[in-house]
Amino acid sequence: MIAMLRWARDLVGRITDKLDLPLLLALLALMVISLVVLSSASDGNSRLVLSQGLRFAVGLGALVLISRIPPAKLRLWTPLAYAGSLALLSLVFVFGSGRSANLWLNLGVFYLQPGELLKLSVPMMLAWYLHSVVLPPRWGVLAVCAGIIGLPVGMVILQPDLGTGMLVLASGVFAVFLAGMAWWRIGLFAGLGLAALPVGWHFLMPYQRDRILTFLEPESDPLGAGWNIIQSKIAIGSGGLTGKGWGQGSQSHLNFLPEHTTDFVFSVLAEEWGWVGVVTVLALYLFVIGRCLWMAAQARDGYSRLLAGSLALAFSVYVIVNGGMVAGLLPVVGVPMPLLSYGGTSAVTLLAGFGMVMSVYAHRKFMG
């Protein structure tokens, strides 16, 4: 009996020995919060909560699994992963399904959003490439990086899925930034980007323009495009310091707040748990990001560092963009709140990403 328990403990220990406990605890805390908020926001729809729980379980499985893969092996597979995700993405154009945009690939058992895979494969590919060249990157290297980023981002935006495109772009840019791209080059790019804004405006879909205009002046069309933002702000503002209490959010329960289990779940949290809840969750996020950056810095090889670092920073983009969007501080972009929002492939990809970070940290001593 005792032997069996010991054997089980050993097994668990061997499986989890590559995990980082502080990071894991923070992630688990976020997932628990997600389930609690969702069980209120879904109005007692236990199927929705269960399915989110299942997603977390799958994601955690992926995390454990990936944490055991040494970064050297990951690096080996990187070009393949990148090419594969691009191939899946192009399949979406042929077989894709979705309400307003072709984002999903029906795999029979579940829907796959290839855009999600890019959030991992693009930083992997950049890390792979930058690992092999002399840093800090100069123009030639940057051009290749631009190609690695630009191809998938362009395809995603064409789908059109501005949110995912932006996140993929951000994760790529962070990799280049962490690789040490000179500040003057960054400045030059930023300047060019700003100058290109008016040109970019022409390439936006009408609904995307609407969102930006709505962000600039939400009250101009309170029953139309501005509705979501206004109702979300009402939900957040009415939550006050300590919130209305679990299950007491009138904005979400009476359906004034749209998409309150997915993109606007953070508004539900803000309404029911108040500013205290908001700050608690933001602190958890900050801890997760900071811990990941620190873990990345411990790595001995460039590939691991760049991969883990850019994943951590990409994660922060989710938080900032979604948190800013639901409070009307940023335009509405279809970006979920990481690990809180109900949905899709995002939770699984995110946890898989954290698996990579943990692998990098666990294997820090064996490379270099």
Which residues would be at the binding site for other proteins (CB under 8 A)? 133-136, 174, 177-180, 231, 233-241, 250-251, 254-256, 270, 274-275, 278-279, 282, 285-286, 289-290, 293-294, 296-297, 300-302, 305-306, 309, 313, 316, 319-320, 323-324, 327, 329, 368
Can you tell me the distance from the alpha carbon of 308 to that of 333, in angstroms, rounded to the nearest whole number? 25
Q: DSSP assignment, residue 331?
A: -
Which is nearest to 312 in space by CA: 174, 200, 156?
Answer: 174
269-290 burial, b if ≥16 CB within 10 A, otherwise e? bbbbbbeebbeebeebbebbbe
Minimum CB distance to other proteins smaller for 154 or for 247: 247
Minimum CB distance to other proteins smaller for 178 or for 340: 178
Q: How far is the CB of 144 from other proteins (least distance, A)?
A: 16
Minimum CB distance to other proteins smaller for 64 or for 234: 234
Q: How far is the CB of 322 from other proteins (least distance, A)?
A: 10
Q: How far is the CB of 348 from other proteins (least distance, A)?
A: 23
Minimum CB distance to other proteins smaller for 155 or for 308: 308
- What are φ and ψ of residue 111, in 5° steps? -90, 135
DSSP string, 133-179: S-SS--HHHHHHHHHHHHHHHHHHHHTT-HHHHHHHHHHHHHHHHHT
Q: How far is the CB of 108 from other proteins (least distance, A)?
A: 33
Query: What three-state secondary structure class fits 34?
Result: helix
Minimum CB distance to other proteins smaller for 144 or for 320: 320
Q: How far is the CB of 213 from other proteins (least distance, A)?
A: 20
Can you tell me the distance from the alpha carbon of 298 to that of 320, in angstroms, rounded to the nearest whole number? 25
